[in-house]
Structure 1
Amino acid sequence: MEEYKKFFRQITVSIAIIMIIFVIGIIGFMILEKWSFFDAFYVTAITLSTVGYEMPYKISNVTKVFDALLIFSGISVVLYLISSLTALFVEGDFKKILGVLKMMKRLENISDHYIVVGGGKTGEYIIDDFMKNGVPHVVIEDDEKKIEKLLSRDEYKDLNYIIGDAKEEDVLIKANIFDAKGLLLTLPSDIDNLYIALTAKTLNPALYVVSRANDAEELRKLLYAGVDNVILPPEITGKRMSSMVLRPNVLSFFESFQMDFGENFNFEEVKIPDNSWMIGKKLRELEIPKKIDLVVIAVRNNRKTQFNPKSELVIKKGDSLVVIGDKEKIEKLKHYVIMQE
């Protein structure tokens, strides 16, 4: 990204210098030869363009020296500009710049997306999952090398990213945080994650924030800052290792689950809108297994989860259905909950 900014600066500076030289030429001819503006403009134009026309008037030796300096200055800047443009096409950077411009256009229109702060190992796992599930997202990373590493993968060619420090409001605003759905903080520093969470919640109080934390003592501070969920990697690693010893068969079952059923088979939580026809009806009346071919494994409300819900369970406002099944059928369920009875 910085290379592209540098290139655009070079082009802009080159054009600005040419315009300055042009203005100097007009003013110089007007002063040295007492020409009118249009005569000075015309002579400056043919001088800088080096078209080879003769001077329309006899000029003094001082003016000849001035004219020669204009020619050399103009040629030097034009050659520099041409060499920059040639390098742009020859080295294949033009296609990359077009990709960056397209990405910037996508960022302007993106909404209901997730912002992933950090393009390291943790962030890469999140991006992989979002890419596979078609979830719109933007990655914020201050290390350009990490972004280049991600872009080197073919599946990341359309990655939306911003190179910058997420602790700065302007960077979060560039990621369109006002229209974002959620924020995922993966930085190794708990303090940085805490600061970003506070800033993000100030800009968008409705934002759903998930953060990692290395220290259990920082967990409470993150929750106070408005983080909705905090993940402790050491705790997860410890529980996984103990499960490998205490419940190896159960763990093996879950690990092989995705492999056996394929990537299109998934767990998902489907929110029931407040105006859904399902409100007030019993679970058996919805006939989800029959009409959608999905299994309802839980019903959630206000973070309380009722697993293996009974068929007589009445659906209330704020409920979500946790289902397991094919992704296409899950999408069908999302439309089913809002359709008229």
Structure 2
Amino acid sequence: MLILGGGRVGQAIASVLAKRNIAHCIVEQLPELVQASSVYVIGNAEEEDVLRTAGIMEAPAVVTTTHDDDLNVYLTLLCRHLRPDIQILSRAALERNVPTLHRAGADFVMSYASLGANTIWNYLMHHDVLMVTEGLNVFQVPLPAHLAGKTIREAMSHCAPGCHVVAVRTAGQMQINPEPSMRLPPHADVILIGTAKAEQELLQIWT
């Protein structure tokens, strides 16, 4: 997952992802904000080359976390241009800018008014789900036996488009951002990011 902005919000998101062993990279242009515990690309997220270096062409999702809504709108437009299929989450400092960010291409917008300043990420221990915001989760599903040996592309072919595999875990090993051609091993756990609706549809198809 790509995080644009290494301030307090970006670092909080990175911390939760790290606890879940989900690969992530922060793009930040101020070296003094860099923390050794996270993977960083130092540079301006408004530049295509910087985003490509950070892995936007491979990442399943990107989060814009700056406190400048105009900048978040621009970053959303740029990310959508580079990756029409990527999941985009954007922070909104002002509630009135939420519709603008949606029009720019954000799939989900996190605003302080609706979520609260300290609850952008809420780890739900009893559900084993990481709630990104209302309606978007990172969740883990045991691979059904009948899908063992199939590629990720085949396994996801009948699932809702708003759901993407971000990792596959088996025998204590984690394959991050696997290729669609990867064959799923038996007894694996599949980690996905998707809308609440897509999650429910996948569970109905897979179980």
Tell me the TM-score normalized by structure 1: 0.39
2:181 alignment partner in structure 1: none
More relative contact order in 1 or in 2 (CA 8 Å, sep 6+)? Answer: 2
Aligned equivalents of 1:160 and 1:237: distance in 2? 27
2:179 alignment partner in structure 1: none
Misfit runs of 4+, over 3 Å: 269-272, 299-303
Aligned equivalents of 1:300 and 1:161: distance in 2? 30
Q: Percent identity?
A: 25
1:131 alignment partner in structure 2: 18
1:205 alignment partner in structure 2: 84
Q: Is the 8 A contact 1:300 1:320 kept in 2?
A: no
Higher alpha-carbon Rg: 1
Equivalent AA in structure 2 for residue 197 of structure 1? T
Please state if 1:143 is matched with 2:30: yes
Superposed CA deviations along residues 201-231 of structure 1, whole A, max 9, x for unmatched, are 1111111000110112211111011100001
Please state if 1:321 is matched with 2:174: no
Q: How does 1:230-309 map to 2 (within 5 A)?
A: 230-237=109-116, 258=125, 266-267=128-129, 268=139, 270=141, 273-274=156-157, 300-301=196-197
Report the RMSD for the aligned CA atoms in angstroms: 3.3
For these two proteins, the number of residue pairs brought into alignment is 149
Structure with the largest fraction of strand:
2
Shift of 1:237: 2.3
Q: Is the 8 A contact 2:27 2:44 kept in 1?
A: yes
Equivalent AA in structure 2 for residue 117 of structure 1? L
Q: Quick one: which of 34, 41, 58 aligns to 1:179?
A: 58
What runs of 5+ residues in structure 2 fail to find an aligned partner? Answer: 130-138, 144-154, 160-194
Tell me the TM-score normalized by structure 2: 0.62
Aligned equivalents of 2:116 and 2:13: distance in 1? 17
Shift of 1:140: 0.2
Structure with the largest fraction of helix:
1
Q: Is the 8 A contact 2:92 2:98 kept in 1?
A: yes
Equivalent AA in structure 1 for residue 202 of structure 2? S
Q: Quick one: which of 36, 48, 53 aligns to 1:169?
A: 48
